Structure formats: structure tokens, C-alpha cells
Chain A
Amino acid sequence: MMDRQGEPPAASGWVQCRVGGFSLEADWEIEPGQVLVLFGPSGAGKSTTLRAIAGLLRPVSGHVEIGGRVVYDDGGVWVPTHERRLGYLTQHYRLFPHLKVAANIGFGLRDRGSPASKERIAELSSLFQLEGLGDRYPWELSGGQQQRVALARALAPNPEMLLLDEPFASLDAELRRTLRRELRLMLAQSPVPVMLVTHDREEALALGDSVQVINEGRTLVTGDPLEVLGQPGQGRVARLVGVENLFDLAVQVRNPRDGTMTCVGPGLRLEVPLDSGGASPGGGEDRVTVGIRASDIILAKQELSGSSARNQLQGQVVSVESHPPGYAVTLDCGQPLRCHITGAALEEMGIEAGQQLWAVFKASSCFLVDQEQPPKSETDH
């Protein structure tokens, strides 16, 4: 449907930007049809990166290629925004309020009104389930329909790169999932490189082929979404991607035979995967930071006998909060431990504050997090 000759487009480049007192360094490389997720707190520089690629902001230096074409180079190349062949989508759909749906979708088409452009509008309308809405004004549409129109409008002129700036942030969870699925389908049909900004982990995991974690204008890590967001190796990254449980512990004994080691901290004793080091060079005790995802923890009413899980901690329920789609239960096991469970589990077990419960998890659910030196202060979140 979105036919193209020769090489499929891809995107790559790097930029250095300065906006007021904020400085940003970013680099990227995206294969056709792949989604690179920029993940990080607000103010990290994600949107600035997108604006720099779109040419809405002039970098201090850099080199930007879209579809094999250099659109910016600090040596003296500057292609204006309207010649960069982009699709740019933001959280505010910004449909043109004075134009009907069909005119919005076709806004970026040449020869508006020609049979070819009418066909393209019809094609996108059916792809995004917008048939029959062509004669409506944007205010007559629901939020989900508006975002579909915005997506169709961005895709109509066959862009060579898609820039998505938290495109689904203002939709409810259900609709967000539907639109993500549609976006995935659409990408399978027209393989353009996509850069997606989000601070929603679920979205990053659902859409990302790779993830780049950004904070304070610097890239902390780039990699596979599951690795980066599931068991992040860096303390800063772990906090940014929201690992719920992080414990600073001392290594008590290593069991190389099992591939585990026993770590202790105030009120805590955990079996975690063996680290690579021996005794620390300073001769003092070995300290490690251990992360556990809240969703990797099982709650039980009694101690589980005959279980393979290496860690069983008893604790009192401190709080139960709603955490869509389920609930977050915080146990006091010497240190607060956060667990995610479903609403059904909560009801069945009748969990309430004050109750004594057991938290059960495997040693392999625990992961070691490097503490970078020197520890940086957190500004965001």
C-alpha cells in the first residue's frame, strides 16, 4: 500500500542542543519499521530531541539523516521542516479545528482534491476506522477518534520517519492499548523508522524494539526494552524506569555452587544471583544494590513449605493502594517491600492492612544494580 522504491528509509544521527540553560546530547540509529523508545522523566530532553530532528529547533551541532538524506549537518546543511518528510504526533492532537476530518487527514497531501489524494484519504480512513466521519469537525469526535485522525494525517504524505511525542498520554488505558495495537499493525505495513517518547513503561515495552533511557539531557543506556526496563543494571536507570524495590545490602556469604549469594541488610536477608566480584579491594565489606520488581513477588498467607523459591519474607501489610490494573501491597519486612497483585487475588485472600503475610520470590527475580560513582542527586520524580 505505501509503496516505495529502492532502499527502505531509516534514520540516524546525533545532536547537541542548548535550550536556555538546558543542554542535550542525543544520538540514535533506527532501522526501518523499528521503534526506538526514548524513556525518561519529564524535562529529560526527549521532546527536545524530537523537535531537533523535526527542524523545529536548531541544534548547536550534529548530523541528522532521514531516509538516507542528510537534513541537518553542522557543516552547513539545513533542510527546513516542511521538506524533511516527517510525521510528527503529539499528546495534544492539534487537529485543525477549522477543517473537517477528511481535510485534516489530507492536509499534507499535494494536489488536494485530486482522485489520488481522495483515494489516500479513504485508505487511511478505513485503516483507522474513521469511515463516515470525513464530514465532521474535530470537536464532534471522541478523544480516540481524534488521535486516529491525527495519526492518519501524519501518515498521509508517506513520511520517511515518525516522531511520536507521548501520542497516547491523554487517552484512557483501554484506548491506549487499542491504538498501540493499531500503530503496530500500521508499522508492519509501512516500515518507517519511529522515535517514540514516553514515560509509560507499559507503552515502552509494548511498542519499543529498543529503549534509550534519558535523564538530564544525557543518554544513560540503550538496549533491549525487556533488559533495560525489566532488570536495569544501573541504579539511576533502575530508579528512572521505576523498579519498585531497591535494597542496599551487604554480602554475607557467596555460594558459587548454587550461583547465589546471601545478602543482609537492616531486617532483611536475601538470596540473590552471584556477583562477579570477590572481596572488595578496600578490604571492607562488599555492598550491593538489589532490585526486585513488584510484579515478581508472590504473596502467601503461610510460609510455603517445599517451595523452590529461595526467598520467603514475613511482614505486616502496611498499605493497600490501587495500582491499575491491580493493586499495590506494601509489606513491612524490616524494610518496606512493594508487591503488585490482581484485584481477584486481593479479594480472594482478603488482604487488608495489619495482616501478616509471606512474600515469596526466586533468587533469580532479584537482580544486581550497579551503583555508579559518584552517586548523582536526583532532580526529577
Chain B
Amino acid sequence: MAKLSTMGRLTAHPAGILGGGGALLFALFIGLPVVALLVRAAQQSDFLDAVTGDVALTALRLSLFTSIVSMAVVVALGTPFAYLLARNDNPWLRVVDHLVELPLVLPPVVAGVAMLMAFGRNGLIGSGLEDLGITIPFTTAAVVFAQIFVASPFFIRAAKLGFQSVPREYEDLAQTLGVSPWGTFFRVTLPLAGPAMFTGLGLAWARALSEFGATMMFAGNLTGKTQTMPLAIMTAMETSLDNALALSVMLLAGSVLMLAALGLLTRRRWQGQ
């Protein structure tokens, strides 16, 4: 009954007609390529071979390793930074805030070139690092650098909003109850901001896994060293469509798993959701 009346209201409303049409078109627009990818991959005879092939596994391992490292760095440094942004109105902090969001709008290729100019062999501080025996460009470290650069804003933004949504009165109250500021952060602030932070982490991770442009420019395309999944797909496209398809399906599966995990982690038990 309830469902029927909802439908009735929707069809009578312009939002129902226009929105319904839009929803259908978007579902087709996004669903069709996904289905096509799966259908083509399924038609392959050597799909399993391609998935378990050396190229695929090496790229997968590198992608997982680098993205986990970069997410660890982003969470470890981004969390306190986001908290500071949420709780402080310092004008200089605002400037830093905007600077940190720049990668959201900057084309990744430009980010790669910029990082080369900074950390490259002849870069601003890269030459100094070179003298110390530290080389960053075209190493696995460069892959991590590129991922942190493009992905960190997704986490920091979400975490900042998450912290802002925790009323300061909760923190004040916790302290009047005899809980230290650190205890308050871990027992009140972090759990309450948690769902928002997991959302941000999921987005950042997806962005890091799909990183292509900046990695290409700054880290190159070296198998086993800097060739992550997206780079491996592009390389495979040049020789074998089948391999590219297999890699793509793997990455697609990973994305779907991520969405599901996010849904679980951001569920707020305590609000009955």
C-alpha cells in the first residue's frame, strides 16, 4: 500500500517524470559499459590465464602495496590535520586548507609534471636529495607520492566535515567527566567522525588505485616497480585486448568490493541504520 501511494505521488510530480527518465538514462549509461566489459571478458577463452598471469598479478600486487602505503600516510597525517582544520579558525590555516584541495581540480598529468619539477633529478629539492643518495622519481616511492598527492584531499575533506559535525559540547562534557583530552579524542570524537572518515578513505583509496596521469609522468611505467593496474591496462591494450579486459574486470571487482565495504563501515548502528 505504502509503495503504491509513493508511486502515485511520483508520477503526478514533475520530479517523478523528469527524474525517472534521468534515472533510467543514467542507469543505462553507466550500466551498459559495465555489462559490455563483463560480457566481452566472459567470451574470452583464456580469461583465467590472463587473470592469473604474471603481468596481472605483478601489477595487482604493486597497486595494492602502494595504495595501502599511501592510505596509511594519508590517514596518519591527514587525521590530525583535518581535526585542526575543523576546530581552528586561523586565517593561515584557511589558506593551507584551500591549497590542500587544489589536487581535486588539478589535472593529474599537471600534478605529475609539477612533482617532477620538485622532486625530479634536476628539481627544486630533488637535486639536493640526489646528493644525499635519495632518488624519488621513477621508483615505487614516486608511485606512492603521486597517489598521496591526488588522493589525500578526498580523505582530508571528508574527515574535516566529519569532525565539524561533532559538537564541541560532547568533547567539553567528556572532559568534565574526568576523561583526558586524548581519551576524549579516541572515545568520543573519532567514533562520531568515523563514518565520515571511512567515506573519505574509500573515495581516496579508489582515487589512489585508479591513479594514472601523475604516476605516468612522475613514476613511469616500469613493470614490477611502477606499473600499477591502470598503467598495466593501458600497456596491455597495445598488445592484447584480452589481457586488458582481464585486468579491467579485476579492477572493477575491486571497486565493487570497496563500495560494499564502505556501506558496511559507514553504517551507524547507533542511529538504527
Task: Say yes or no: A82 contacts B176, CB within 8 Å.
Answer: yes
Quick one: which of B180-226 are within 8 Å of A by CB?
180-181, 183-184, 187-188, 191-192
State how many residues of chain B have any CB contact under 8 Å with chain A: 24
Contact status of A107 and B270, CB under 8 A, knowing A56-B172, A81-B172, A94-B169: no
A22 in the interface, Cβ–Cβ < 8 Å?
A: no
B91 adjacent to chain A (CB < 8 Å): no
Does the CB pair B176–A97 fall under 8 Å?
no
Residues of A within 8 A of B177 (CB): 82, 88, 107-108, 153-154, 156-157
In-complex Cβ contact of B192 among A98, A138, A153 (8 A): A98
- Residue B5 interfacial (CB < 8 Å): no
Output the nearest chain B residue to A110 by Cβ-Cβ distance.
B178
- Residues from chain B with a CB closer than 8 A to the CB of A90 are 169, 173
Residues of chain A contacted by B268 (CB below 8 angstroms): 98
Given known A-B contacts A90-B169, A107-B174, A82 and B181 have beta carbons under 8 A apart: yes
> What is the minimal beta-carbon distance from B191 to any residue of chain A, in angstroms?
5
Chain A: interface size category: 20 to 34
Q: Does A86 contact B (CB under 8 A)?
A: yes
Given A97-B192, A98-B192, A98-B270, A108-B179 contact (CB < 8 Å): yes
Is A85 in contact with chain B by the CB < 8 A criterion?
yes
Q: Are B169 and A92 within 8 A (Cβ)?
A: yes
**B175 CB–A CB distance under 8 Å:** yes
User: Chain B residues with Cβ under 8 A from A362's Cβ?
Assistant: none
Given contacts A82-B179, A96-B188, contact A137 B173 (CB under 8 A): no
Q: A97 touching B178 by the CB < 8 A rule? A: no
CB of A46 closer than 8 Å to a CB of B: no
- Contact B178–A108 (Cβ < 8 Å): yes
Q: Verify B271–A107 contact, CB threshold 8 A.
A: no
- Closest chain B residue to A83, Cβ basis: B178
Q: Which residues of B contact A85 (CB under 8 A)?
A: 178
CA of A300 to CA of B174, assembled, Å: 56
With A94-B173, A96-B170 as given contacts, are A82 and B271 in contact (CB-CB < 8 Å)?
A: no
Complex-state Cα separation, A87 to B271, whole angstroms: 26
CB distance from A119 to the nearest CB of B (A): 18
Which chain A residue lies CB-closest to B182?
A82
Any A CB within 8 A of the CB of B167: yes
Q: Are A94 and B176 in contact (CB under 8 A)?
A: no
Question: Digit string of B35-55 for contact with A (CB within 8 Å is 1, else 0)?
Answer: 000000000000000000000
Q: In the complex, how many angstroms separate the beta carbon of B181 from the nearest chain A beta carbon?
A: 7
A54: which B residues are within 8 A, CB to CB? 172, 176
Is A99 in contact with B270, judged by CB distance below 8 angstroms? yes
User: Which chain B residues lie closer than 8 Å to A148 at the CB level?
Assistant: none
Whether B272 is near chain A, meaning CB under 8 Å from some CB there, is yes
Closest to B173 in A: A94
A232 CA to B61 CA, complexed, in Å: 80
> In the bound complex, what is the Cα–Cα distance between A69 and B167 (angstroms)?
30
* Chain A window 98-114, contacts with chain B (Cβ cutoff 8 Å), 1 for yes, 0 for no: 11000000011010000
CB of B169 within 8 A of CB of A81, answer no
Task: Look across to chain A and name the residue whose beta carbon is closest to the beta carbon of B188.
Answer: A96
Instruction: Count how many pairs of residues, one from A and one from B, have CB atoms less than 8 Å apart in the complex.
Output: 73
**A293 interface residue per 8 A CB criterion:** no
Does A199 have its Cβ within 8 Å of any Cβ on chain B? Answer: no
- Asked whether A236 is an interface residue with its Cβ less than 8 Å from the other chain, the reply is no
Pairwise interchain contact A97-B181, C-beta atoms closer than 8 A: no
> Which of these, A56, A92, A139, contacts B272 with CB under 8 Å?
A139
Q: Smallest distance from the beta carbon of B194 to chain A beta carbons, Å? A: 8
Report the minimal beta-carbon distance from B89 to chain A, rounded to whole angstroms: 14
- Which residues of A (27-56) have their CB < 8 Å from a CB of B? 54, 56
Contacts of A84 in B (CB 8 A): 176
* Complex Cα–Cα for A96 and B192 (A): 9
A274 to B177 Cα, complex, angstroms: 53
A99 neighbours in B (Cβ, 8 Å): 270
- Whether A94 contacts B271 by the Cβ 8 Å rule is no
* Chain B proximity of A136: nearest CB distance (Å): 10
Task: Point out the residue from B167, B169, B172, B179 that lies within 8 Å of A107, measured CB to CB.
Answer: B179
Q: Is there an interface contact between A81 and B270, defined as CB atoms closer than 8 Å?
A: no
**Chain A residues, CB < 8 A from B176:** 54, 56, 81-82, 84, 86-88, 154, 163
State A140–B271 Cα separation when bound (angstroms): 9
Cα of A137 to Cα of B192 in the assembled complex, Å: 14
A94 touches B272 (CB 8 A): no
Rounded to whole Å, the gap between the CB of B171 and the closest CB of chain A is 10
Complex CA–CA separation, A137 to B187 (angstroms):
16
Interface centre among B170, B174, B177 (most CB of A within 10 A): B177
A residues in contact with B270, CB < 8 Å: 97-99, 137-139
Alpha-carbon distance between A88 and B180 when the two chains are bound, in angstroms: 15
CA distance A85 to B177 in the complex (A): 7
Closest approach, in angstroms, between the C-beta of A28 and any C-beta of chain B?
A: 18
Residue of B nearest to A54 (CB): B176
Q: Which residues of B contact A140 (CB under 8 A)?
A: 272
CB contact list, A125-177 vs B, under 8 A? 137-140, 153-154, 156-157, 163
Contact of B173 among A83, A88, A97, A139 (CB under 8 A): A88
Starting from the known contacts A81-B172, A82-B184, 13 additional A-B residue pairs (CB-CB under 8 Å) come to A56-B172, A56-B175, A80-B180, A82-B175, A82-B183, A83-B178, A84-B176, A85-B178, A99-B270, A107-B174, A107-B187, A108-B178, A110-B178
Can you pick out 7 interface pairs between chain A and chain B where the beta carbons lie within 8 Å of each other? A56-B175, A81-B172, A81-B175, A88-B173, A107-B187, A108-B178, A153-B177
A interface residues with partner B (beta carbon < 8 Å): 54, 56, 80-88, 90, 92, 94, 96-99, 107-108, 110, 137-140, 153-154, 156-157, 163
Question: Top 6 nearest A-B pairs by Cβ distance?
Answer: A108-B177, A88-B176, A81-B175, A82-B175, A98-B270, A137-B270
